Amino acid sequence: MILAIESSCDESALALFDPPKGIAREIISSQAAAHEKFGGVVPDLASRMHLSALPLLLEEFRADIPNITNLAVTRGPGLLPCLSMGISMARALSVALDRPIQTVNHLRAHVHSVFINLHAAHPSQFTQARAELLPHLGLVVSGGNTLLVKLDTNLKITVIARTVDDAAGEAFDKGAKLLGLPYPGGALIEQHAQKGNTQSFSFPRGLPEKSDLRFSFSGLKTALRYQLEKMSDEEVKSQLPSLCASYQDAILGQLNAKMLSALNSGSYKSVGLSGGVANNRALCNLLAQSLEKRKLPLLVAEPKYCGDNAGMIAFAAWADPFAAKAGTVEPAPQLSIDLA
Ligand code: KG4
């Protein structure tokens, strides 16, 4: 049984993964309400909140402690003061229980999170069932990263493309802020967009050349700002649904186009969508439509495994032979977005 700890940003989370069965128990404590008034995550506050939340969450796992064989913890990328809290707790448990620690890259865990349901449905046939879906194209869209990766038949991950500026979730959140919506604004933009017209406003698609797989969202945010400067407060209020629909359409259109270009430049048996922006139903529907024509399955991470969570860290510690470094904790957590 693997006990995983996640504390890379503003969620403290623990999960227990039992390989023959699946994720046996998981608990998450969100700090979102505490950071909302600051319009973003405050690292110092977040780290202090992890310090008080993690031991309380551990209490809920007291009965499972004798069954734990391995500890897993997010080593990065993330906020250094926050990562340190989870890593310190993993170290303390490792010493107390005499169990090894596997340190897991958060982004690799997102890539593998799309297979959690496959494992839950067929735990004993998981390896074979996953092999039939490889090579796999993974689209990771979160608040801090936007990546296209190839998960090969030998489970090696290669980064195909990443964003040159903002992440897709950041584009949602920064756009929401300009529109006067609270942080994090991705889900609110989606809600307003449902009542709006995608054609009402014209927003640019970043790096539109088909041969360029990289993402770019900062120009889109600037275009929204210029558009809003031309409008009165009343106009913005009355046209909010269409502003959201057109802005969201530009983000989703770029994600869909880059996914299709990546598929054209490689050979894949499935596509995965994970990270916080994978909660967006319009994005899931758009990608599913594109993939239906190509008869490729789309695996979408379940909502509870889209944001920061410990379930995907525990799962990756077991499912990804390259994610976890057993028996060692780096002296300092990695901050780069390399998937090492
Ligand atoms: O926590 P997060 O960055 O994921 C991990 O790294 O694990 O996901 C949060 C991001 C935020 O940018 C948020 O606005 C975005 O995901 N998000 C959404 C939706 N729900 C969450 N973006 C668009 N539509 C949504 N429904």
Determine whether the shortest distance from the Cβ of 279 to ligand 1 is under 6 A: yes
Q: What angle do CA 205, 306, 282 make, to 5 degrees?
A: 45
Please give the angle made by the CA atoms of 111, 112 and 113, to the nearest 5 degrees: 95
Q: How far is the CA of 279 from the centre of ligand 1 (A)?
A: 7
Q: Is the pLDDT of residue 334 over 90?
A: no
Rounded mean pLDDT of 62-87?
Answer: 95
The CB of 26 under 6 Å from ligand 1? The reply is no
Instruction: State yes or no: pLDDT of 95 exceeds 70.
Output: yes
Under the banding of pLDDT at 50, 70 and 90, the label for residue 331 is very low
285 shares a domain with 144: yes
**Is the pLDDT at 333 greater than 50, yes or no?**
no
Domain assignment present for residue 301? The answer is no
Number of domains the chain is built from: 2
Taking the centre of ligand 1 as the mean of its atom positions, its distance from the CA of residue 54, in whole angstroms, is 22
pLDDT averaged over every residue in the chain: 94
- Judge residue 303's burial from the number of C-beta atoms within 10 Å of its C-beta, 0-12 exposed, 13-18 middle, 19 or more buried: exposed
**Is residue 329 predicted with pLDDT exceeding 80?**
no
CA of 36 to the centre of ligand 1 (A): 14
The full 3-state SS of 278-308, as one line of letters, equals HHCHHHHHHHHHHHHHHCCCEEECCHHHCCC
CA 173 to ligand 1: nearest atom:
14
Q: Ligand 1, residues 142, 162, 308: which to mutate, most atoms within 8 A of Cβ?
A: 142
Q: Mark whether 78 and 199 lie in a shared domain.
A: no
**Taking 90 as the threshold, does the pLDDT of residue 81 lie above it?**
yes
| From 14-23, 33-42, 214-223, 292-301, the region with the lowest mean pLDDT | 33-42
Average pLDDT (79-102) is 95
Confidence at residue 36, expressed as pLDDT on a 0 to 100 scale: 85
How far apart are the C-alpha atoms of 16 and 78, rounded to whole Å? 22
Q: Are residues 113 and 163 in the same domain?
A: no
Average pLDDT over residues 306-327: 86
Both 138 and 116 in one domain: the answer is no
**Domain match, 222 and 317 both:** no
Is 302 among the domain residues?
Answer: no
Res. 5: pLDDT tops 60: yes
Q: What is the DSSP string of 206-220?
A: SS--TT---B--HHH
User: Looking at residue 37, what is its pLDDT?
Assistant: 86
C-alpha 176 to ligand 1 mean position (Å): 12
Residues 108, 65 within the same domain: yes
Q: Report the pLDDT averaged over residues 121-147.
A: 96
Long-range contacts of 161-166 (CB under 8 A, 24+ apart): 161/213, 161/214, 161/215, 161/258, 161/262, 162/214, 162/215, 162/337, 163/214, 163/215, 163/216, 163/217, 164/207, 164/214, 164/215, 164/216, 165/216, 165/217, 165/218, 166/216, 166/217, 166/218, 166/221
* 106-111 average pLDDT score: 95
Same-domain check for residues 194 and 289:
yes
Regarding the beta carbon of 184 and ligand 1, being less than 6 Å apart is answered yes
- pLDDT of amino acid 332: 39
Same domain, 97 and 191: no
pLDDT of residue 339: 62
- List, for residues 155-206, the tens digit of each pLDDT value: 999 999 999 999 999 999 999 999 999 988 999 999 999 999 999 999 999 9
DSSP 151-176: E-TT--EEEEEEBSS--HHHHHHHHH
Q: With pLDDT > 90 as the criterion, what percentage of the chain qualifies?
A: 91
| 303 domain residue, yes or no | no
Could you tell me if the CB of 280 is within 6 A of ligand 1?
Answer: yes
Is 56 domain-assigned? yes
Q: What is the pLDDT of residue 39?
A: 81
- pLDDT band, very low/low/confident/very high, at 40 (cuts 50, 70, 90): confident
Q: Does residue 160 sit in the same domain as residue 284?
A: yes
Task: Tell me the pTM.
Answer: 0.94
Question: What per-residue confidence (pLDDT) applies to 336?
Answer: 41
Ligand 1 pocket residue status of 86, Cβ below 6 Å = no
Average pLDDT on 98-107 reads 94
Position 250 in a domain: yes
pLDDT in tens, 118-129: 999 999 999 999
Query: Based on the domain organization, do 142 and 288 belong to the same domain?
Result: yes
Domain that holds residue 226: 134-296
Of all protein residues, the one whose alpha carbon is nearest to atom 3 of ligand 1 is 143
Work out the pLDDT band at 147, boundaries 50, 70, 90: very high
**What is the tens place of the pLDDT at every residue in 48-69?**
999 999 999 999 999 999 999 9
CATH code for the domain of 177: 3.30.420.40
Cα 302 to averaged position of ligand 1 atoms, centre (Å): 13
Confidence label for 324 from pLDDT (cuts 50, 70 and 90): low
Band (pLDDT 50/70/90 cuts) for residue 317 is very high
